[in-house]
Amino acid sequence: MGRDGFVVPGDIQLASKKKTAVSSWVLMNDNGESTILDVDKYAIMRRVHIHARDLRILDPLLSYPSTILGRERAIVLNLEHIKAIITADEVLLRDPMDDNVIPIVEELQRRLPAVSTSFPGQGEEEDLGAQNDAEAAEENEFPFEFRALEVALEAICSFLDARTRELETAAYPALDELTSKISSRNLDRVRKLKSAMTRLTNRVQKVRDELEQLLDDDDDMADLYLSRKLTRASSSSSGSGAPLWFLASPTIGSRISRTSRASAVTTHEENDVEELEMLLEAYFMQIDGTLNKLSTLREYIDDTEDYINIQLDNHRNQLIQVL
């Protein structure tokens, strides 16, 4: 800015750069098709209808804990390197070129498309049976948002479990070597391993706590049922026409037509979260098992430290006796 308060061209260019800051995302639809997007935060907020404070959770420069948030039209997911926004028919995943994210993108592309079952056969009876089976499979289809959520949970639980196994492989031999030979080198090696174990335990604990908190609150789990909320909204607006944000997506429009016959669901069915609860419990048990491994390793380290202290005290007493 100039002396008289006027903005000089350099300041205009700097302000423009700040306003046009973009981030890289990969967009995947329910057919598994992906598109790389380089957009700013406002484009993301408009697309998935979330607030800036929710999008800020996914900022890699900010240290937010592991979070799974259910919003009206999206699930905001922050699990370590997995930073995603899941809607009823799309997944937005941040930093798709990251080495830890690439396998998740590939897994989403493989598992997001709904399974289409073919029924070979001849005659009217076979065709009628195949049609009934296909309709039943469609009605019982695992919701898109849960297929995407399952991929993310499976990826983070497997990632943390792999880091734990790597730590175990390095720690147990190092501890055994320390008990057989107390040296500065071995002590420093165990100290570094203990620090790594503490950091990893905190990371695993955060994911476990988030899943436990979600499992303890049925309302929070109900907020993750995006397809159900979509059906409820379509049935309530059937008399006056669909909202504009429905019409913007042909996939959502087709999903509304498929689920229109479910508009008379009961309150109990709308609040039933058993399907999601079973999914979350499976990965809660897995991450809890990983945390138990780290707890066992911590106990082994504590036992080793006690043994080393006893040995050092014994040597110290022997020296005192000699003197």
β-bridge mates for residue 67, sequence order = 78
Can you give the pLDDT at residue 116? 53
DSSP code string of 168-231: HHHHHHHHHHHHH---HHHHHHHHHHHHHHHHHHHHHHHHHHHHHHHHT-HHHHHTT-HHHHHH
Name the DSSP letter for residue 75.
Answer: E
Q: Report d(CA 83, CA 67) in Å as an integer.
A: 10
Can you give the pLDDT at residue 120? 47
Indicate the residue type of 110. Answer: R
Question: How confident is the chain (323 residues) per 10-residue block, as mean pLDDT?
Answer: 50 49 91 91 93 92 90 94 95 94 94 63 49 46 90 96 97 93 91 96 96 94 90 66 43 46 44 88 97 96 90 80 72
- Is the four-CA dihedral 28, 33, 37, 40 of positive or negative sign? negative
Can you give the pLDDT at residue 264? 39
Locate the DSSP E strands across 40-101: 67-70, 75-79, 82-86, 90-94
Q: Is residue 78 a contact partner of residue 67, using CB atoms and an 8 Å limit?
A: yes
Strand, coil or helix: 8:
coil
Total-model pTM: 0.77
